[in-house]
Structure 1
Amino acid sequence: MTVEEFWQQFKATHPDVTTNMYDAYAFFDADTLAHLVKIGRKTATTSALDLYDVNDARPQVGEYSIVLDGQDQPVCVTQTKVVETVPFDLVSTEHAYHEGEGDRTLAYWRDVHRKVFKSFYQQMGREFNEQIPCLCEVFERVD
């Protein structure tokens, strides 16, 4: 099923959704993280604000997203509930828990995100530090 077909099927079963606007994306570890969203364990994500291109849309409260697996197949629909910018070193224990990964601790979150962000920063010719601005998003799976 294409992403657009998936969206239309979602809208057909959710008549209260009147928008045709949605985003579709895959996480860094697409299959694993899409599964965590689908089973309700992952209800948050974090991205490095500095790595957004000026033309990239940033998550917005109320918007819908289609989470894709590693083969770019739609898995589920989420709706963004909270978006806040927080320095890397001030991301909360609660947010790390809601990301749903590993043992759900802040230590695990920092270890994984530090490695991923360092790699992304390096690819962009930039240097990672513990004060980089992070976009912390909380979402709800709605289908």
Structure 2
Amino acid sequence: MSKPSEWWRNLPTTSFGSSHMEERLAGLIIAGRKRATVWSGQEDNPTKPGMNWVVTANARPVAVIETLSVGQCHFDAIDADFAFEEGEGDCGLAYWRIVHQAFFEKAGNFSPSMILWWEKFALVEVLDADLAARGEAMVALDEADAAELLANQP
């Protein structure tokens, strides 16, 4: 049985990363590359397994995801498997640590032992065909940015 058109309209919304990264991270989700995320353990946890969310990019709905699992851990306990699931850059742990440390430092709350919420999710539906059409290009851009960042590390 198919779902009615715009069945997702009353779902809660979420976005990923800072405002300048929302579209790229949403593109990685739609491309099937990004299947996990983290946020500061100082923030509330609005999600639980089985919940559906509308992912937005620049305030427009682009996809629906379903939370599969959620929990907490320390920043420095994130492992290579989770970094791979998060799907950003080269999907490696070194890249994950560099960009997430910078993100949390900018927010003013980084510590290697800081508590994070983590979530694994699945793509349920693509709502933005234009963003989906650019998915491979967004993955390539993210990989290129990661290669440049990692090449410039001491």
Aligned to 2:31: 39
**CA deviation vs aligned residue, 1:21-66 (integer Å, no higher than 9, x gap):** 732022121010000001111000011111x1xxx45221111111
- In 1, the alpha carbon distance for the partners of 2:15 and 2:86 equals 15
Deviation of 1:10 (Å): 4.3
Aligned to 2:121: 139
Aligned to 1:102: 89
Question: Once the two structures are aligned, what percentage of the paired residues are identical?
Answer: 31
4+ residue runs over 4 A deviation: none
Which consecutive unaligned segments of at least 5 residues does structure 2 have? 126-154
The answer on 1:60 being equivalent to 2:56 is: no
- In 1, the alpha carbon distance for the partners of 2:78 and 2:11 equals 27
Q: In the alignment, is the contact (CA less than 8 A) between 2:75 and 2:115 conserved in 1?
A: yes
Q: What is the RMSD of the two structures over their aligned residues, measured on CA atoms? A: 2.0
**CA deviation vs aligned residue, 1:86-128 (integer Å, no higher than 9, x gap):** 10000121110011100000110010000001111x2xxxx42
- In 1, the alpha carbon distance for the partners of 2:74 and 2:11 equals 27
Between the two proteins, the alignment pairs up a number of residues equal to 120
- In 2, the alpha carbon distance for the partners of 1:21 and 1:98 equals 28
- In 2, the alpha carbon distance for the partners of 1:47 and 1:84 equals 11
User: Within 5 Å, which residues of 2 pair with 1:1-143?
Assistant: 9-11=5-7, 22-28=11-17, 29-50=21-42, 52=43, 56-69=44-57, 71-120=58-107, 122=108, 127-143=109-125
SS of alignment partner, residue 106 of structure 2: helix
Give the TM-score normalised by structure 2.
Answer: 0.72
